[in-house]
Structure 1
Amino acid sequence: MAGKVIIQSTKKCHTVMSVSAKRTSLNEKSEKLQKLLKVVSRNGLRDVLYTLHRHPYRFTELVFETKINPRMLNKHLKALIDLNLVVKDTDEYILTENGKKLIKILEQIQYIFPKKEGRHTPPRREPLH
């Protein structure tokens, strides 16, 4: 009888640990998502992503292409590397597969919320007759 009680309490303990582990996993995902959104919302960071989407660039080339001062560009690149959106290969920065996926998501968001006139806006569809 005592053996059954121990087995049952062990199962309960295991179940509690599983629920706790799931909560931790959800909290970690939520924290990562919050960090991603915070980083992506930085001024100029999307310019870095879109520039790297064309092809790999060296740091000085990125400064020239994006017109972001070197200190801010360095901060952006470190954050992108930390989020596994960009990698540095010898002297070039390269967009990762996750970075490419993020570009696609950002393009979809831009289509839903187009920028003001004068900036890049997705093509409008012709009305149906």
Structure 2
Amino acid sequence: MNVADQRAVEAFPELGHLIALRNLGWRFLPPLVRNGQPVEVDGFWEWPDGHRDVIGVRFSSEVLGLRMTGDDPPSLVWEKTSSLIEVVQWLLTLPPPGDRLTPNLTRATAPALWTPPRPLV
């Protein structure tokens, strides 16, 4: 853990769980910032077959974990909401796609991207 990580964990111990994911190869998007304050952190792990595990953190007690297929549009096959510690533990223990114990029933399909209407000219 580098000095910046150590300082972050000293200030906010829960960040250690996100740092652990990052150190395992998870990628994180730049945090969503409002009024100069970070309000959401989103990260993902992409499996070789295109499945994607996702974490969205708004607060240490408001965290969403997902697994989506690599289809277009992706299908949601696993979802948990809980604390940061619990969601990270679930994500780390979720069997890889294709394993016989992996959830694979579609729970939902992601909506198509919204396209803004063309201006009337």
Q: Which has the larger share of strand?
A: 2
Q: Which has the larger share of helix?
A: 1
TM over 0.5: no
Structure whose alpha-carbon radius of gyration is higher: 1
Q: TM-score range by the shorter chain?
A: under 0.3
TM-score normalised by structure 1 residue count? 0.25
TM-score normalised by structure 2 residue count? 0.26
